[in-house]
Structure 1
Amino acid sequence: MGGPKRVTLNDVAAASGVSRATVSFVLNDDPRQTISAATRGRVREAAKELGYVPHGIARALREGTSRVVVLNLDRELEGNYSHSYVQGLDDELAAHDHVLLVRYGHSAAKATQQVLDAIVPRAVIRFGAAYLTGHALDDVGAGWNDGLAAHAALQIQYLADAGHRRIALALPDSDSPLIDVRRNFVRESAEKIGLEPLLPLVVPLSRPQGRAAVEAFLEAHGEVTAVAAFDDRVALSTLAALRDLGVEVPGRIAVIGFDDTEYGSLVTPALTTVRIDAEAHGRRAARAALGLDDAGLPSTPARVIVRESA
């Protein structure tokens, strides 16, 4: 027995009382056609009720590419920022009849090319590409306006406003491509507000190794009163090490995270962190991939989520 009959443009045309050509113009957002808002609404409602799905292969042959946008996302960059970015990217692409395909982790060049050859995507986006450049200081990716530079500055400024003058920058024990970029932004942020350069502290994920690293650091740098962490994972590892060492937080050492993962509020003391809503960044990336203007897409400024640790 065959599956359910596929809904066609003819079905949508019959249900909405217009021609097949009109349905095609409406569903493809053809800018050359003048069709009333009422008719457009009727066609889209009929397509939605019938469950019409465009024939991707036919459309790809006609347009030269599929209506798929590929996002390459390294797993180590996952967090609240990436989740909100993907949400915004997906929603904006869907609003323009495109589909998002997210590829996680590092992929070999051959495997990547096989995917691209199979689906002929409209665009390929590398998550964090603007962050990785480290020099586009005025854009919404790496910028001082609403990007990694601004977010790093917010974290350091919060500690400075609390009276901390000697601060450590806790980094992951990994080769994240963002480490060098982040360190550069932190250095510039500290210079702008008159702080001495932040002292690097590598905190391994292993609890015993993390404790040993933090203990050695504090013995060498007893003047440090606060830790700005690369992300919440590193901040939580630092908190665990300080707890094991019997160091009072925030009395002796204040700790602030970055990217507000769901675990920060569950520890004791609860983690103060920087929350970044990147939905607008994702929407802008979608419009850039489609060659559309990104005017009218407001950003939500990053903010410090104040809890107990700093």
Structure 2
Amino acid sequence: MKALQGVEGHVEWLDEPSPTCDVGQVRIRVAAAGLNRADLLQRAGLYPPPPGASAVLGLECSGVISEVGPGASSWQVGDRVCALLAGGGMAEEVVVDARHVLPVPEGVSLLEAAALPEVYSTAWLNLFQLAGLKPGEKVLLHAGASGVGSAAIQLCKAFGSPCWVSVGSAQRLAYCEDLGAQGGVVRTDGIEGLRDFGPFDVILDPVGGDYAALDLKLLALDGRWVLIGLMGGREAQLDLAQVLGKRIQLLGSTLRSRNDQFKADLFSDLSQHVWPLFAEGRLSPQLAKTFPIKDAEAAFAELATNQIAGKLVLVIDESLT
């Protein structure tokens, strides 16, 4: 099979041995794969896959099941699905734990479905499972127009928690408001303007760095600060008295390195609480643009501009879409 590999800071569509479909696994003929910031980091040699995971790029994909391994009888050959992966999604086929697969939601195309697993898993895990977000609590989403931000805005709206965002442009702020955000700030205008909307019960932060000190100031009593990325840097100076005085919880969170059972439990939760909302029209994929796999380098370059609202998807097999 062919697969996308990160090679010395760029990507190449190379021959790769087909993986074996083992007990409890399914093989997916890949239609499309979502592109995430983790793929940028892996291409640059900064985010290696967890031990035992495929070195092929891609943390999520959509496609059609072509083989069902022993013990994966909940699926059938021909099922249209999307999957969460620790790696391997940007390939002609992928083998995955059958518990990390969900059906393509009603009314959603395979192209759109490729943009769902990673961002909705991340948003649900960090806001609702780890931070314990409750209806009526106020949320701040940094990088609100990102793929995770787009999913998080919709989930906050669906479950009754008003949210605000920080974004990179007025156009992306308007995009977030159209999705359901109450408002927010453009970071070039100064993120201190977020004080006008706080305090916040939960902050979802993929930035870190210089945002960290302000996050502490913006959090309410018993606030939860969930750090999921370091786009702004890994070092910060914090006033720890605020952590004590406000009883703040700082939660560091990554999903890719979680074990199979954790991801299976997460997907079970998504299946019950989140996936039905697509059929109801309360959630929708935010597919910004697609690229054929031969133009993967252009897709990576576009994601690196930080100008995207929503998700980018690579088309692997156009005949399936």
Interval of TM-score (by shorter of Structure 1 and Structure 2): 0.3 to 0.5
Q: Normalized against structure 1, the TM-score is what?
A: 0.37
Structure with the larger strand share:
2
Higher alpha-carbon Rg? 1
Structure with the larger helix share:
1
Q: Normalized against structure 2, the TM-score is what?
A: 0.36
